[in-house]
Amino acid sequence: MTGTLAVLRAARDLLTPPGAWIQGRYANADRTCFCLLGALGMADHGRATDPSKPVTDVIVPLVPGYEDAISSWNDMKCRTQADVLDLLDRAIAAQRAMP
């Protein structure tokens, strides 16, 4: 998939179904559930691994204190699927606002 905005939207689509978000790993065995990075990677290049730098560059400013560890932000015990979807919504809005 090309384009950061398209990647963010596709990752959000992957994480939207109830139970589609997980913690502690990029994806489940059948690739139906993903962590934030796993969904971004799957949307970016078809593999549940770290996404490209342009994609993470949009996420990083939205997770203060976790600039070097987006996975740690995802894996916090208090984190919820709704939090992750909200982050993606904010990233999509930020990307759309760019000239």
Q: What is the pLDDT of residue 65?
A: 87
Rounded Cα–Cα distance for residues 46 and 17 (Å): 19
CA distance 40 to 32: 13
Q: Does the model's pTM come out above 0.75?
A: yes
pLDDT surpassing 90 at residue 66: no
pLDDT of residue 68: 78
Give 10-64 pLDDT, tens digit per residue. Answer: 999 999 999 999 999 999 999 999 999 999 999 999 999 999 999 999 999 999 8
